[in-house]
Amino acid sequence: MASIWSEEAKLSRWLEIEILACEAMAGRRIIPRKDARTIRRRAKFNLRRVQKNEARTKHDVLAFLEEVASHVGPAGRWIHQGLTSSDVLDTTLAWQLRDAADLLIEGVRKVRAAAAMRARKHRGMLTIGRTHGIHAEPTSHGIRMALLHDEFCRAEERLEEAKREIAVGKISGAVGTYAHLDPSIEAFVCKKLKLQPGAATQVVPRDRHAAFAQALALVAASAERWATEFRHLQRTEVGEAAEPFAKGQKGSSAMPHKRNPVNAERICGLARIIRGNALAALENVALWHERDISHSSAERILFPDSTILLDFILADLEALIRGHTVDPKRMLANLRATRGLWASQGALLSLTRAGLPRRQAYEAIQKHAMAAWLEGGADFPTRLENDPELGKKIGRKGLREACDALRHLRHEKLIYRRCGL
């Protein structure tokens, strides 16, 4: 990913665009064919000399053109004929972002594959679900992984759409009117680069770039969501899952016992940078008239950084998913820790089916639940069974059904199917 954004690679793309434009002009007999062949054969650049030129000209594209022309000879006069800097810059940026998107999509697919593998492995592995951080009702670790897979199916779709929207080139001149260029030149260059020509002013409208940056931020947010889940599951008080811990790895400079969720924490921190960059991309949409360059300085930072960071995040997340350890015994212990409270909704529904008004049933169940949790003594199911009125209404069958944890996995197959598994 980093190689896409190197200075050498960027200027190589500039050069290819300039050469293709000359070849397109030669094809329309605007410039001599022999000169286009000379340009293809001799056009090159030395990065140090480009940088030296830029120190004098204070203009990156002019500095580049001077260096290229010095290698070509008289035919060099045709290079950049009718073009403006943004033709080269924006077409290059589209090309870079398209290639970056391909790498990110590959990374997302690896995350999906890891999630699918763990979902199949942990199907039916009971664990307590939590809402607001508090025990709710049973689920399975497999369902968690299936939902992760589902979220990254959407992440892939978002990146595919962002790639389609950003892959737009522009070779239309100073304010985008083709005054000194035939539109066929643009069509030729874009076809060669597998980009689409698009309507533009002097620059490609920045809503496209903002949409791309927001897609990156959304994928990073999804990665952070699941990294946060693993961080919570690794907490000492929970202990249901833990990220990989390599042989020889150390958790703390002071406390040898520490095994911290550093990979997950790193994902969360880097995702914040990508979200911040998305805001800068939104700010870049409102440019003056046909163009200004307030967007340019920000984009030189935000797109390399965001694509490189997201590429890194996806690799980190894949390793975390693929390599995390689980503790089924701890999951069952946590499931039992609230002494049957997770069965409260099942008991409530049994009472309403038996004819008790919902409010009355809710308050009766809540009373026993709070007593079981706060006062100790008998657990929640036992309290219900021993209640003369409620026990009779619920009945042994209703109580057994309410306290059957496996009923919560009855539709696990359906959930998997909806998650693409």
Catalytic sites, residue numbers:
132, 252
∠ at Cα 382 (380, 384), nearest 5°? 70
Distance CA 68, CA 313 (A): 38
Find out whether 130 and 237 touch, Cβ atoms under 8 Å.
Answer: no
Contacts of 333-338 with C-beta under 8 Å, sequence gap 24+, read 334/127, 334/128, 334/135, 334/238, 334/239, 334/240, 335/126, 335/127, 335/128, 335/138, 335/405, 337/128, 337/135, 338/128, 338/135, 338/373, 338/380
| 3-class SS of residue 288 | coil
H/E stretch holding 372 reads helix 358-374
Distance CA 18, CA 39 (A): 9
Secondary-structure breakdown of the chain: helix, strand, coil percentages, each rounded to the nearest 5: 70, 5, 25
Q: Is 127 left (phi over 0), alpha (psi -120 to 50) or beta?
A: beta
Find out whether 356 and 390 touch, Cβ atoms under 8 Å.
Answer: no
Distance CA 5, CA 8 (A): 8
* N-term to C-term CA, the chain: 30
H/E stretch holding 137 reads strand 134-140
Distance CA 32, CA 78 (A): 9
Distance CA 155, CA 223 (A): 10
Tokens of 118: 């763990």
